[in-house]
């Protein structure tokens, strides 16, 4: 009897023939991706977010109160109690079936449970004698109370601005989540997540100042302290296009309830006198997306700023220090053709495309200034720009749907602009940078460096094995993001699916593994991924309602179950022309909590399908015993071999694994071993 082991690797492969494809590759799947550490990992869940505690982190406690027959103060479900001025709980359910005892199931603990625990006085008669974390009497009750705790926390989280209207976008800066949304009258609003929920910020204005007596400096105030100057911009004559040094445009942040200063005489805190000729609000209703890049053009860490494009407004800058969104424009006297569709920072210059085949470059280190005499420029591409991506210190890549061009140089005296890949383009918002720059189009996923090296698109494609689905999904793209800790890029589509590409090292260089996931009834319209100061990489997204969600957290989709399946390619066991008698098989897996798996196997490309069986595993590393169908053999090193039996004869065998649960944390399937006997040649 022969025995062979097959690691699970290769990802989704729809192009290779059944005889040449690796049997550990995926024929079809949902919500699995190939891990850089080996095996196929089921994705995490997502939860709504506003800065308060995540439902995914919620738990519950079993509380035992004695002497309940003579208690003085009652305890009811759906109320909040405080015990002995020490511990506060929200009571989800109570049980009085035990004589002279009240057992309560609670969540939302405030306070610290003493260790060792000493009974706390409830009402002078009854005492809280025992607190057990997740102390239910059965697995079914444990799931019931755990779900109740999740629901309690979930219901505390609010939609942005308190309405169900979808957000325009989301970004992260310095461990803070920022949401963009238009109100009921289409006014733009910004909000940041705090420990008490969403906090509204301010929208900056541009003040036209004339007869300026002396320089006005950033961070000075005007109008008796009602406004802080965030930027000082040049004023250009609308006719001659020449600068008038006696006039300035002041980008200001409101410090009081006033939205803008009155027209007329004014002064700055630095002593400058001037006349306010007009005040404009260049930022109007937000577009349907938010694209941004965080950068600090100054020296102090507090000056980190998010530079933003939304396809509708002028470029914008969010100052976290001031919780204010500010407008940017080369000339506030002429705002035509100044909407920003895409934005990037390259060699200390802000660059943004205009939506008409051109892009602007700011003065070095001065994102609010665009004087050509100081190195700023406007460059035409001749096609609609779909992405701007800094490749390295020397090259900025400008993508269109048809191709990509490289911008090199330091300022407008030596800019050079030439083709990088004339026949490799990108869908809007389809470019991401990992080890290389990758772009999604209807022709597939292309790698710019590979394309540039090989000289043509065929050499640059990394999605050959999934081309048939990429061609269909390319026109449905909404947004994309990069998860560096997973070495992964995700492209999100308007049918609620997303494509995951993991970059994996190998002896032959980098390989690319693909998987498909689906957020059931929840499209990802805008997405942001950043690494926080505690080392966690966090992804947030907006959808078709007023919530912001955090991805890759918890065991469910905002309370809904996660359905996942993994169908592996048929395995001929290296003898496709011979029948085999299948004897034993086991799968190796790693999990964090109990998982129930449904396994189905079939022979001869599905000619015969055997009845699916359920089996269960606990947390840790396991050998899944499919022969007995009801055992999990635990081994922390993952080396034990559990005996398992199979029935069936055929020239090939294929496996499908299914799971549907709202309580299962991400787990990984890493390989399987099968025992078999080779019989005679298979007949047609």
Q: What is the pLDDT of residue 583?
A: 85
Residue of 486 and 614 predicted with greater confidence: 486
Asked whether residue 458 carries a pLDDT value surpassing 60, the answer given is: no
Q: How confident is the model at residue 596 (pLDDT cuts 50, 70, 90)?
A: confident
Asked whether residue 643 carries a pLDDT value surpassing 70, the answer given is: no
Asked whether residue 627 carries a pLDDT value surpassing 50, the answer given is: no
Q: How confident is the model at residue 391 (pLDDT cuts 50, 70, 90)?
A: confident
Asked whether residue 413 carries a pLDDT value surpassing 90, the answer given is: no
Asked whether residue 195 carries a pLDDT value surpassing 50, the answer given is: yes
Residue 232 bridge partners (DSSP):
250
Q: What is the pLDDT of residue 683?
A: 64
Nearest by Cα to 560 from 570, 549, 571, 568? 549
Say how far apart CA 74 and CA 83 lie, in whole Å: 12
Judge whether 682 and 573 are in contact, CB under 8 Å: no
Q: What is the pLDDT of residue 617?
A: 63
Residue of 682 and 354 predicted with greater confidence: 354
Q: What is the pLDDT of residue 622?
A: 44
> 351-371: b or e for each residue (b if 16 or more CB lie within 10 Å)?
bbbbbeeebbbbbbebbbbbe
Backbone angles phi, psi at 507, to 5 degrees: -65, -25
pLDDT per residue as tens digits for the range 487-535: 999 999 999 999 999 999 877 778 999 999 999 889 999 999 999 999 9
Q: What is the pLDDT of residue 609?
A: 83
Locate 255 and state its tokens: 């410090």
CA pseudo-torsion sign 111, 116, 122, 128 = positive
Judge whether 311 and 341 are in contact, CB under 8 Å: yes
Q: How confident is the model at residue 644 (pLDDT cuts 50, 70, 90)?
A: very low
Say how far apart CA 412 and CA 362 lie, in whole Å: 10
Judge whether 473 and 519 are in contact, CB under 8 Å: no
Overall size of the chain counted in residues = 684
pLDDT per residue as tens digits for the range 145-193: 999 999 999 999 999 999 999 999 999 999 999 999 999 999 999 999 9
Nearest by Cα to 585 from 574, 595, 575, 600? 600
Q: What is the pLDDT of residue 450?
A: 56
Judge whether 290 and 168 are in contact, CB under 8 Å: yes
Q: How confident is the model at residue 548 (pLDDT cuts 50, 70, 90)?
A: very high
Mean of pLDDT values over 455-477: 77
The domain segmentation of the chain, as residue ranges, is 2-45+563-681, 55-156, 435-524
Average pLDDT of the chain to the nearest whole number = 90
Q: Using omega within 30 degrees of 0 as the cis cutoff, is the peptide bond preceding 116 cis? A: yes
Of the spans 220-234, 296-310, 324-338, which averages the highest pLDDT? Answer: 220-234
Q: Which helix (H) or strand (E) holds 283?
A: none
Q: What is the pLDDT of residue 1?
A: 80
Q: Please classify residue 139 by burial: count the beta carbons closer than 10 Å to its beta carbon, then call 0-12 exposed, 13-18 middle and 19+ buried.
A: exposed
As a three-state string, the secondary structure of 503-532 is: EEEECCEEEEEEEEEECCCCCCCEEEEEEC
Asked whether residue 457 carries a pLDDT value surpassing 70, the answer given is: no
Q: What is the pLDDT of residue 670?
A: 92
Other CB atoms within 10 Å distance of the CB of residue 218? 13
Instruction: Say yes or no: domain 2-45+563-681 is CATH 2.60.120.260.
Output: yes
Q: What is the pLDDT of residue 640?
A: 29
Say how far apart CA 9 and CA 23 lie, in whole Å: 9
Say how far apart CA 115 and CA 654 lie, in whole Å: 53
Mean of pLDDT values over 619-626: 48
Say how far apart CA 162 and CA 167 lie, in whole Å: 11
Asked whether residue 454 carries a pLDDT value surpassing 70, the answer given is: no
pLDDT per residue as tens digits for the range 255-285: 999 999 999 999 999 999 999 999 999 999 9
Residue of 100 and 644 predicted with greater confidence: 100
Q: What does 438-486 look like in DSSP terms, one character per residue? A: EEEETTEEEEHHHHHHHTSHHHHB--GGGHHHHHHHGGGEEEEEEEGGG
Say how far apart CA 493 and CA 475 lie, in whole Å: 9
Percent of the chain topping pLDDT 70: 93
Q: How confident is the model at residue 645 (pLDDT cuts 50, 70, 90)?
A: low
Judge whether 239 and 297 are in contact, CB under 8 Å: no
Q: What is the pLDDT of residue 298?
A: 80
Of the spans 314-318, 471-475, 672-676, which averages the highest pLDDT? Answer: 314-318
Report how far apart, in Å, the C-alpha atoms of 590 and of each of 383, 425, 517, 555, 628 are. 49, 40, 20, 15, 19
Asked whether residue 293 carries a pLDDT value surpassing 90, the answer given is: yes
């Amino acid at each position: 009897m022969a025995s062979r082991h097959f690691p699970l690797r290769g990802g989704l492969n729809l192009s290779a023939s059944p005889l040449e494809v690796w049997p550990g590759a995926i024929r079809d799947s949902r919500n699995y991706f190939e891990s850089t550490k080996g095996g196929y990992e089921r994705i995490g869940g997502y939860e709504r977010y506003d800065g308060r505690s995540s439902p995914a982190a919620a738990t519950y406690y079993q509380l035992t109160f004695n002497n309940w027959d003579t208690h003085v103060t009652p305890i009811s479900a759906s109320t909040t109690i405080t015990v002995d001025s020490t511990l506060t709980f929200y009571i989800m359910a109570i049980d009085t079936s035990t004589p002279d005892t009240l057992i309560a199931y609670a969540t939302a603990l405030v306070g610290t449970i003493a260790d060792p625990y000493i009974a706390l006085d409830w009402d002078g008669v009854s005492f809280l004698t025992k607190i057990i974390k997740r102390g239910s009497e059965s697995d079914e009750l444990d799931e019931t109370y755990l779900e109740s705790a999740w629901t309690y926390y979930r219901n505390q989280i609010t939609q942005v601005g308190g309405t169900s209207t979808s957000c325009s976008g989301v970004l992260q800066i310095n461990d803070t989540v920022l949401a963009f949304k238009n109100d009921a009258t289409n006014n733009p609003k910004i909000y940041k997540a705090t420990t008490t929920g969403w906090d509204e910020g301010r929208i900056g204005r541009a003040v036209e100042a004339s007869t300026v007596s002396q320089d006005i400096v950033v961070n000075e105030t005007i109008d008796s302290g009602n406004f802080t100057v965030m930027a000082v911009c040049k004023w250009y004559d609308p006719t001659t296009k020449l600068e008038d040094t006696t006039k300035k445009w002041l980008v200001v942040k409101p410090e009081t309830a006033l939205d803008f200063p009155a027209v007329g005489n004014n002064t700055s805190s630095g002593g400058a006198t001037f006349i306010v000729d007009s005040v404009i609000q260049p930022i109007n209703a937000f577009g349907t997306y938010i694209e941004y890049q965080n950068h600090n053009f100054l020296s102090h860490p507090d000056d980190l700023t998010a530079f933003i494009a939304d396809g509708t407004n002028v470029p914008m800058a969010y100052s976290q220090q001031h919780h204010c969104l500010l407008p940017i424009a080369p000339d506030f006297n002429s705002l035509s053709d100044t909407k920003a569709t895409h934005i990037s920072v390259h060699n200390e210059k802000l660059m943004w495309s205009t939506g008409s085949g051109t892009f602007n470059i700011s003065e070095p280190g001065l994102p609010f200034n665009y004087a050509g005499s100081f190195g700023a420029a406007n460059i035409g591409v001749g096609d609609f720009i779909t992405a701007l991506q800094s490749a390295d210190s020397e090259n900025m890549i400008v993508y269109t749907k048809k191709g990509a061009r490289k911008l090199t140089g330091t300022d407008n005296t030596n800019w050079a602009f030439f083709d990088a890949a004339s026949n490799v383009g990108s869908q809007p918002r389809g470019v991401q940078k990992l080890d290389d720059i990758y772009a999604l189009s209807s022709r597939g996923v292309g790698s710019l460096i590979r394309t540039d090296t090989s000289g043509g698109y065929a050499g640059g494609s990394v999605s050959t094995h999934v081309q048939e689905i990429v061609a269909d999904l390319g026109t449905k793209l909404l947004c994309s993001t990069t998860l560096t800790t997973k070495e992964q890029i995700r492209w999100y589509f308007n049918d609620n699916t997303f494509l995951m590409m993991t970059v994996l090292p190998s002896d032959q260089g980098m390989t690319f593994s693909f998987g498909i996931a689906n957020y059931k009834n929840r499209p990802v319209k805008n997405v942001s991924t950043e690494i926080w100061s505690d080392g966690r990489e966090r992804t947030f997204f907006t959808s078709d309602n007023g919530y912001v969600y955090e991805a890759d957290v918890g065991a469910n989709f905002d309370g809904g179950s996660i359905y996942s399946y993994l169908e592996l390619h048929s395995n001929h066991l290296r003898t496709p022309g011979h029948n085999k008698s299948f004897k034993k098989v086991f799968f190796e897996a790693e999990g964090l909590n109990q998982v129930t798996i449904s396994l189905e196997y079939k022979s001869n490309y599905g000619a015969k399908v055997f009845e699916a069986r359920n089996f269960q595993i606990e947390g840790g590393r396991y050998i899944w015993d499919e022969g007995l169908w009801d055992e999990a053999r635990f081994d922390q090193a993952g080396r034990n071999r559990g005996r398992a039996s199979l029935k069936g004869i055929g020239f090939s065998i294929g496996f499908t694994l299914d799971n549907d649960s709202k309580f299962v944390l991400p787990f990984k399937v890493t390989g399987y071993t099968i025992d078999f006997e080779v019989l005679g040649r298979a007949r047609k």
